[in-house]
Structure 1
Amino acid sequence: MTGTADIVIEPDGYKIGRDATPLAAHLQAAVAVCVHDDTQGVGGLLHLRYLAKGQTKPLDLTDNTLSSDLLLLDRFCKDLRTQGARKHSWRVRLVGHIPSGEGLDQPAATLLDLLRAYFADNRLPVECKEFNREQKLIVRLQPREGRVSVSAAAEGQPLASAYKAS
Structure 2
Amino acid sequence: MTVFDDQVRVRAERARQVALFRYRLIQDVIDVRLTSRERGVLATVIADREHDGPFGEKITVSRPTIDRWCRWWRRDGFAGLVPQPAQVRPRTPAEVLDMAAGLKRENLARTATQIARILRASTGWSPSERTLQRHFERLELYAPAPSGPAQTEVFGRFEADRPWHA
TM-score (normalizing by structure 1): 0.25
Higher relative contact order (CA 8 A, sep 6+): 1
Q: Which has the larger radius of gyration?
A: 2
Q: Which has the higher strand share?
A: 1
Task: Calculate the TM-score normalised by the size of structure 2.
Answer: 0.25
Structure having the larger proportion of residues in helix: 2
